[in-house]
Structure 1
């Protein structure tokens, strides 16, 4: 299964619309309708090729889980391929393959999503299968036990046997305290071992309903055709109750934190996270876009400061990167990470990374450098939007986390509007030591034969 990172603040209220006289809204090429049972449908025609991507998004993920049941959203994702009253275990994938398509799913902190990529004239096949497993899933004990073991093995391979992934997991668990973002989407091993079929069935019944779902279709289709199919396959389902939501546990930022790990790693590794706002949590609306541009100054192409200064000039880093995503249900982190070069220590790398941050806190980014970074961000965004699949991803993610797909219409304009003063301002405000958590990964030293004896 694909695994997402991780997505906001407002759960969209869907208005009930009569089927006989539906209200349709169009924005930025996206046409939307809300079925009478509360399920929202978004369609974006793209007639360049006779293909279509369809996705069903549920607003439930790691953020909604409680200790004792972490990983349940991901386990349920696996179980969604294990059959319904009409389709046997594994048959959904076989049906899609026989129709020349591909399918998969992914679970993140803010959502769980399922998708099919098909020829446009096979769209109905994917929608029929998604509707079927929305309400008719058969949770069999034998299949459940098997899939929990699969997820546990997945955790061993992806996290416990991967020192860098373990360092990343440690970072979030230390930085986020009680927030659900501090627990891994794949779950803690003790929770996976104790997870029950009854808990998973309850999770399915509470969160998998039209009221908590969104259908996104992008490709060589006509909106009216998609709405008719959505009504045919999903419209007759009961609305469902609004699922329970955990209180927001935004972390109390109380000073710098650090962890040193010693693992069987081949090379040292460092990852740091600064508490940073998502879009609704920012004090000023331009701040998340300034942070995105700041991330680009540090790590957007070969001319970025990390690549040019740390990797090629100082040769203190074999690799270094930045990650920041303001599109989430709750505030997250602004990440720095890196691996020292063979001639540098982990401390050398840490000092160099923090020096780069310090420079941005002190000095304005030159106008020509800022303009280059903006152009690179814009080019990357335009290139991604050329993909039918990525268009569906953007719409589904933004609608599910509560931002609305209209956000896409102003994104690049807001990036272009960022000033050098704004970049320095967010660096000073959010990239402070007392907002920072650092995890250092040290390779385990091999013991000599004498010391082992």
Structure 2
């Protein structure tokens, strides 16, 4: 999740960042939505049904347990490339038919690739769900790829890279920070891929990846909306039930892991297109699926204390008290299979150097690591987080994202629903200890975005 936290995405990620409980006891919950039903087909497809009867609309999301971190080394961008190619049609449904049908019935669709997951989404009137499910089941195994549509799509992805990364200094800095933060883990590869490797991807690469990972036992189907599980189960069994499991897919994804961080790192990106310099610092921290009990919600609370709005400690120190910055933010992305990131983002005021900003950041962290937060501050941020989570349940698509994102990265339905109570249970001592343990500079990469003002050298003509 981007750490600059657009509200909807931020809340969705927050509610998926529940630590697993070693006690095995089911926590109380303040989640107000109806509990989802869940069942698994004989072929391994897990299905989650989230009733929401307020409007006759349904959201279908299928989540595959593969992302950029699962790619073959040397073929970065393959998961994202295949996501594009999944719209190229099957023997039963030629290219464009699926998308045209969604538009014709007044629905919308989307797809995404992340480090751990790939997903496909349709939101349509309730009565159109059977058609959507038939389309989605068909392309789980029926994809047909030809060079005449694969190679042009590769050019589309390369142009996307140029637009989203190569021509965006802010994104290029993030790309470089991630590559420096992960010395060994594939999270250091950009989801869209490295340009020189995208250029070499071909039909055979895509088909091999598709056949390796696209299977019912490597997917979770989430249906949210005006539906009942008694009607959904036979529909799912009809469409997905005949698809055989792919038994070569391991039950657990094993990736290279990070060594113990030994030294802080810095990255400086200089670009003539930079209009506003910026500072980013990323720390390597545990994700919800692998964190010790209570650690992940504590990191959520710590991020909100440090950078969640105008009353946060970083904002007060940098923007209000010292007037060094225009904005200051912090975020924690706990929705991942493997070690994730705690981020700090600061936009300096014009003419302000990075040194005093870093000094102020370090002081905020040192204070948090040595002293417990004030009780009123702790209660304020916990109330904010819990309220955001509860209000966000009014969005059907958000509910589908919560459960899909969490379940594909090792969490459970109970983990999601008990998240507000885990937030409420966080103590000031836990926050202090988390700041001391995880916001150690040795665990960090600091990135500087600056404007390149060097004059361009003109070519000499003979």
Using CA pairs below 8 Å that are at least 6 residues apart, which structure has the higher relative contact order? 2
Could you tell me which residue of structure 2 aligns to residue 142 of structure 1?
A: 148
Q: Number of matched residues?
A: 434
Query: Residues of 2 paired with 1:324 and 1:377: CA distance?
Result: 13
Name the SS for the 1:184 alignment partner.
Answer: coil
CA RMSD of aligned residues (A): 2.4
Query: Residues of 2 paired with 1:346 and 1:267: CA distance?
Result: 13
Maintained 8 Å contact 1:141/1:197 = yes
Query: Residues of 2 paired with 1:247 and 1:108: CA distance?
Result: 15
Pick from 277, 293, 306 the counterpart of residue 298 of structure 1.
Answer: 306
Could you tell me which residue of structure 2 aligns to residue 64 of structure 1?
A: 70
Query: Residues of 1 paired with 2:143 and 2:302: CA distance?
Result: 45
Unaligned residue ranges in structure 2 (runs of 5+): 3-8, 19-32
Is 2:422 aligned against 1:426?
no
Query: Residues of 2 paired with 1:175 and 1:448: CA distance?
Result: 32
* TM-superposed deviation, 1:93: 0.9
Could you tell me which residue of structure 2 aligns to residue 220 of structure 1?
A: 226
Structure 1's 35 and 415: CA in aligned 2 closer, same or farther, altered over 3 A? same
Pick from 119, 142, 156 the counterpart of residue 113 of structure 1.
Answer: 119
Query: Residues of 2 paired with 1:251 and 1:327: CA distance?
Result: 21
Could you tell me which residue of structure 2 aligns to residue 231 of structure 1?
A: 237
Query: Residues of 2 paired with 1:31 and 1:87: CA distance?
Result: 31
Structure 1's 337 and 411: CA in aligned 2 closer, same or farther, altered over 3 A? same
Is 2:254 aligned against 1:254?
no
Is 2:275 aligned against 1:269?
no
Unaligned residue ranges in structure 1 (runs of 5+): 10-26
* TM-superposed deviation, 1:343: 4.1
Could you tell me which residue of structure 2 aligns to residue 157 of structure 1?
A: 163
Deviation digits for residues 39-89 of structure 1 (CA, Å, limit 9, x no counterpart): 111101111111111111100001111331110000000001111112222
Deviation digits for residues 285-311 of structure 1 (CA, Å, limit 9, x no counterpart): 111111110100012222222333322
Name the SS for the 1:114 alignment partner.
Answer: strand
Could you tell me which residue of structure 1 aligns to residue 5 of structure 2?
A: none
Name the SS for the 1:403 alignment partner.
Answer: coil
Query: Residues of 2 paired with 1:240 and 1:377: CA distance?
Result: 40
Is 2:328 aligned against 1:320?
yes
Deviation digits for residues 114-152 of structure 1 (CA, Å, limit 9, x no counterpart): 011011111112111101111111112111111111111
Maintained 8 Å contact 1:67/1:191 = no
Structure 1's 448 and 150: CA in aligned 2 closer, same or farther, altered over 3 A? closer
More moved, 147-156 vs 301-310: 301-310
Query: Residues of 2 paired with 1:36 and 1:169: CA distance?
Result: 41
Pick from 108, 122, 139 the counterpart of residue 102 of structure 1.
Answer: 108
Instruction: List, as ranges, runs of 4+ consecutive aligned residues in structure 1 with deviation greater than 3 Å.
Output: 4-9, 244-248
TM superposition score normalised by structure 2: 0.89
Could you tell me which residue of structure 2 aligns to residue 17 of structure 1?
A: none
